[in-house]
Amino acid sequence: MLTSIVGINWGDEGKGRMVDLLSEQEDIVCRYQGGNNAGHTVVNERGTFILNLLPSGILRPEVVNIMGNGMVIDIKHLCGEIEKLRAGGIDISPANLKVSDRAIICMPYNVAQDCLEEERLADAKYGSTRRGIAPIYGDKYMKKGIRMGDLLQPEAIGDELKNILEWKNLTIEKVYGADPFTYEDMLAYLKDYGAPLKDYICDVGEYLEDAIAAGKRVMFEAQLGALRDIDFGIYPYTSSSSTIAAYGPIGAGVPGHKLDRVIGIMKAYSTCVGEGPFTAEMFGDEAEELRKAGGEYGAATGRPRRVGGFDVVASRYGVRVQGATEIAVTKLDILSYLDNIPVVVSYDVNGKTVDRFPTGKALADAKPNVEYLDGWGEDITSCRKFEDLPENAQKYVKYLENAVGAPVTYVSVGAEREQIIVM
Ligand code: GDP
């Protein structure tokens, strides 16, 4: 059984929380794209954990966690994340963590390049998280990447690293006028942060292939949402990787397998970190209230998120490109303070009403057509059955289900593991 958990919106939908909940039934949880540019927050009985690189299943001792070939891995960050979790009492060993030998290492010069480029762009910046993700995916496709498997024989990295650095320093020095990265420093970096990771590195595709043949349950955990996908998102304000469910088996190492179940995580309202078109955006006090109610500050960066009402146009598109077979609605409890809940039902693009998610200039020009649904005005965090929800909350969920065209199977009413309604 292959299940994928993906974001329907702009990311931060609460995927980490849903993976934490659903990983109970899984044998294996895989990350298949991205790096430490986003954070999953998982709250459970042991505390609150922010995971940037490690799959969320790491918090369950019996789950095997895979970091796939589609990822870009900052090895210093990974070492730090492992140490922090260990300090929090989480066991991490080669038995429950396996890192693809094909995954690409995100290097310090990639992080530097990301920062230098955002500074060069100044006001026209993309809103990068400055973790080096775009530059390292660029390097990957330029075939100038060092892979996790190379850490197994650091003595053999030498020539490759020299060639890459010669090339990279041309950009760092001649384009940005910054200091070059030395071969000695970078080799030492790879050795220092590679050594503690060696035992985790293997051919995860082989491992997964055997596990699937043995009938194990595998879950693919995406970072970010549909609208950040490099192909289908709000390009160029996207991530640099594929956040789409269909990429899961590829980025995890089993490209020949098909998904059985795609659970789309969809927030009861809209949030968006960083730059780019965000049609549903609210401003002023209305925005500040929602941001505060939802605690909408980036897990990885602490940046305040842009917020807005639920966006039917964008979410329906998200459901389609993800191929979601079912939906988990998250953070419904956050809307309890509102008497009237704004929902973006269509866009106005230069005088025309549009209900298909546009791209490019049309998206940039789109204005929201907002309608209001009745609020429920009471705390719903202790509801555990759909019938427990106030009538207007039930109506809101049914409205969303109808609007996006996929069945809602979970409604999350709080960050805690048990604050969930299973439909
Ligand atoms: P992810 O990257 O998609 O996992 O999103 P985040 O890490 O930004 O998670 C969203 C935040 O909302 C986290 O702090 C979660 O603990 C929290 N959260 C998730 N689901 C719910 C919910 O239903 N209600 C509330 N109040 N908080 C939630």
Amino acid at site 191: K
Q: Residue 248 in contact with residue 30, Cβ under 8 Å?
A: yes
Q: Residue 66 in contact with residue 98, Cβ under 8 Å?
A: yes
Maximum Cα–Cα distance for the chain, whole Å?
67
Distance 102 CA to ligand 1 centre (A): 31
Name the residue with the closest Cα to ligand 1, atom 9: 14
Cβ–ligand 1 contact at 14 (below 6 Å): yes
Q: Residue 290 in contact with residue 225, Cβ under 8 Å?
A: no
Closest approach atom of ligand 1 to CA 11: 3
Cβ–ligand 1 contact at 17 (below 6 Å): yes
Q: Which residues are known catalytic residues?
A: 12, 40
Cβ–ligand 1 contact at 334 (below 6 Å): yes
Distance 78 CA to ligand 1 centre (A): 22
Q: Residue 354 in contact with residue 43, Cβ under 8 Å?
A: no
Inter-CA distances, 297 with 6, 111, 266, 272, 280, Å: 20, 22, 18, 10, 18
Whole-number pLDDT of residue 38: 76
Torsion sign (Cα): 402, 405, 410, 415: negative
What is the distance between the alpha carbons of residues 212 and 35, in angstroms, rounded to a whole number?
Answer: 25
Name the residue with the closest Cα to ligand 1, atom 23: 331
Distance 3 CA to ligand 1 centre (A): 20
What is the CATH code for 2-99+211-263? 3.40.440.10
What is the CATH code for 104-196? 1.10.300.10
Average pLDDT, the chain: 94
Whole-number pLDDT of residue 23: 86
Whole-number pLDDT of residue 155: 79
What is the distance between the alpha carbons of residues 223 and 287, in angstroms, rounded to a whole number?
Answer: 25
How do the domains of the chain map onto residue ranges? 2-99+211-263, 104-196, 265-422
In percent, the amount of the chain with pLDDT more than 90 equals 83
Whole-number pLDDT of residue 300: 61
The 10s digit of each residue's pLDDT in 23-40 is 888 999 999 999 998 777
The 10s digit of each residue's pLDDT in 108-125 is 999 999 999 988 988 776
The 10s digit of each residue's pLDDT in 273-325 is 888 999 999 999 999 999 999 999 876 667 789 999 999 999 999 999 999 99
Distance 152 CA to ligand 1 centre (A): 37
- Choose the residue to mutate in 37, 330, 420, 422 for probing ligand 1, maximizing ligand atoms within 8 Å of C-beta: 330
Q: Residue 315 in contact with residue 403, Cβ under 8 Å?
A: yes
Cβ–ligand 1 contact at 41 (below 6 Å): yes
Torsion sign (Cα): 157, 160, 163, 167: negative
What is the distance between the alpha carbons of residues 357 and 346, in angstroms, rounded to a whole number?
Answer: 9
- The top-level CATH class assigned to 265-422 is alpha beta
Cβ–ligand 1 contact at 43 (below 6 Å): yes
Whole-number pLDDT of residue 301: 67
Distance 27 CA to ligand 1 centre (A): 23
The 10s digit of each residue's pLDDT in 319-356 is 999 999 999 999 999 999 999 999 999 999 999 999 99
pLDDT above 70: residue 393: yes
The 10s digit of each residue's pLDDT in 131-166 is 999 999 999 999 999 999 999 987 788 889 999 999
Name the residue with the closest Cα to ligand 1, atom 14: 41
